[in-house]
Structure 1
Amino acid sequence: MKKFKMFFDIEKEEQWLNEQLQKDYRCTNISGLGIYTFEKTDKRYVMRLDYQDYLSKKKFKDYKGIYEDFGWIYINDSWLGGIRYWQKEDDDQNEIFSDRQSKSNYYKRLMGYSSGLGMLLLPFSYMFYKDSGLYLAEGLWSMKGALFWKAFLFETPFALLRSLPALMVVFFGTSFYKAYRKYSMLKEK
């Protein structure tokens, strides 16, 4: 079975994948385009996600080895960086972060990821708005009646596309804030 789903929140993605496991569908592959491949299973599994920056091949091999020693199966085979998908049969040891320090390091990596992408998109947001705004149709605001509405409705999808970088900056800012709050709570305890 294949499902298409896009996530911008790693914790919601993990929750959704575990819901699929509760329905007896084990994940076998995840493409970068949001296509999840599942197979029916009669065993109980649990899935955990981790975010890692770029790891050299040796560090990636060591990283994989540590988790595999504890029974985790690595789903995707990309060593470049990003979200790592881990799955194993359900038992008493279902967490990949063994202590508060490793959990706080995870949130710190997520903060770096969110802020990096947000900063990358910030100049694009500025470029779209600095001269012309969202609606580029010549004379749109001086049109009247049905002609205005036709031109406005035609231009709106393009305006939404032009606003996408700014919306993504807001999204990544929110994502950074959520990770920061969780990171701060772990540091305070």
Structure 2
Amino acid sequence: MKKFKVFFDIEKEEQWLNEQLQKGYRCTNISGFGIYTFEKTGKRYVMRLDYQDYLSKKKSKDYKGIYQDFGWSYIYGSSLGGIKYWQKVIDNQNEIFSDRQSMSNYYKRLMSYSSGLGLLLLFVSYMLYKDSGLYLTEGLWNMKGALFWKAFLFETPFALLRLIPAIMVVFLGSSFYKAYRKYSKLKE
């Protein structure tokens, strides 16, 4: 079974994946484009997500080795950094973060990811809108009657596409805030 889903919140993605596991579908592959592949299983699994910055080959090998020593199977993750997907059969140790410090570091990495990508997309948004705004049709706002409505309706889907980076900045800002709140609670 394949499902397409896009997430802006790593914790909601983990929750959704675990809901699929509870329904009896084990994740076998995740593409970078939001396509999740599942297969029916009789075993009970748990899935955890971790965010890691870029790791060298040696550090990446060590990172994966530590998790695999505890029974976790590596499903997917970019070698350049990003979300790492881990899955294992349910037993007495179903968490990948064993203490407050490792959980705190996880939220710190999430804040770094959200703020970095958010600032990049904010810059992209500025470059897209600085000279022309959302609508690029020349003289659109001076047109009258049916000509205006035809040009406006034609241009609107393209304007909405140009708005995507700004919308993503809002989602990433929300993700940063959630991670910051959880990080602050762990630091108390």
Deviation per CA, 1:134-176: give whole Å up to 9, x if none.
1111221222232222211111111111222222222211211
1:9 maps to what in 2?
A: 9
Label 1:119 to 1:78 Cα distance change in 2 as closer, same or farther (>3 A): closer
Q: 1:3 Cα deviation (Å)?
A: 1.3
* Aligned counterparts of 1:133 and 1:60: Cα–Cα separation in 2: 43
What does residue range 33-182 of structure 1 map to in structure 2 within 5 Å?
A: 33-76=33-76, 78-182=78-182
Q: 1:182 Cα deviation (Å)?
A: 0.8
* Aligned counterparts of 2:123 and 2:50: Cα–Cα separation in 1: 29
Q: 1:24 Cα deviation (Å)?
A: 0.4
Deviation per CA, 1:44-76: give whole Å up to 9, x if none.
000000000111111111111111111111112
TM-score (norm 1): 0.95
TM-score (norm 2): 0.95
1:27 maps to what in 2?
A: 27
* Aligned counterparts of 1:106 and 1:159: Cα–Cα separation in 2: 36
What 5-or-longer segments of structure 2 have no aligned partner? Answer: none
CA RMSD of aligned residues (A): 1.2
* Aligned counterparts of 1:143 and 1:127: Cα–Cα separation in 2: 26
State the AA in 2 paired with 1:113. Y
Give SS of 1:75's match. Answer: strand
* Aligned counterparts of 1:118 and 1:187: Cα–Cα separation in 2: 24
What 5-or-longer segments of structure 1 have no aligned partner? Answer: none
Q: Which runs of 4+ in 1 moved over 6 A?
A: none
* Aligned counterparts of 2:141 and 2:78: Cα–Cα separation in 1: 49
* Aligned counterparts of 2:140 and 2:10: Cα–Cα separation in 1: 41
The total of aligned residue pairs comes to 188
Q: 1:15 Cα deviation (Å)?
A: 0.6
Q: 1:129 Cα deviation (Å)?
A: 2.1
Give SS of 2:12's match. Answer: helix
State the AA in 2 paired with 1:131. D
Q: 1:13 Cα deviation (Å)?
A: 0.7
Label 1:77 to 1:171 Cα distance change in 2 as closer, same or farther (>3 A): closer
